Amino acid sequence: MLRATGWVAITGLLMAAACGTSEPASTPTPTPTGELKSALDLAPLLPANADVVGVTVSPEGKTYVLDRVSGLYLLEGARAALVFAAPAGIELTDVVALGGERFAVPAENDGFMIDVHNQTFSSYFCYLPSVDPGTVAPGGPPSISQDLRNAGIEVAERTESVAFNHDTLQLFAQPRTTRMDTGQVVGSELFIFLEGGGQPVAVQPLPDVSFVAGGMVAVAGARLLLGQGSVIYEMAGAGLAPSPRKLLADKTVDISGLALDTGGDLLVLDRANRRLLAMAW
């Protein structure tokens, strides 16, 4: 009697094992490109008057958000720690990580470097290039601002977006030029700098003089993604204009920063709603 009971028990275990191995292993279904995966509400993590204007992910895998009002924050889960206070009298408009706790940040007519480790702020790249003919980007035309200033017209240049390609060690800025005498927007361009900053080594005029990206990120294949309003554009090479790649379903989104996280998802900073969105890409 005991032996029969034991046999039944063993048979049951074998049957259970056989059923378990006969089922195919489940395979996760990938999220379609451009689909929203998560949204982080930044409002409780930042000061009440925060104005989020930039997001970046460092080569070390850390995510940072720039508040125009108070400074640069490191996001750690559901916490945000201020790692560099905004400098007095200078409005920063975007941020990109260079590595080693160093960040490129633009302001009107100039570009700076933040060194979080040493807590320093210094001049780094110039997207209002010198009018000296010797500073014209090799192989390219003078920038719009150089032409106008050579004609005696004062201008202002402002960029809301910078990006850095860690493979080619190139820094990108997308400024728009305004005449100071009339207030007219007269041009939009893409500037390319080497890792050391300084003057641009290439200038590419954009067909739409009013185009200004709120965020920009370098992606594989020497491509750039640029965000304007609720639209993500792509530039795939020299001489090519930004072309629409993804129209976000939520039209209230105002893109003020783009970055790629370590898993390859696209981070979209929504200035209007103070959110950080993660999208499959």
CB 248 within 8 A of CB 228: no
d(CA 256, CA 13): 58
- pLDDT for residue 238: 72
Q: Is the pLDDT of residue 40 over 80?
A: yes
- pLDDT for residue 27: 57
- pLDDT for residue 90: 96
Closest among 135, 131, 138, 124 to 95, alpha carbons compared? 124
More confident position, 185 or 221: 185
Prediction pTM value: 0.85
DSSP letter at 24 equals P
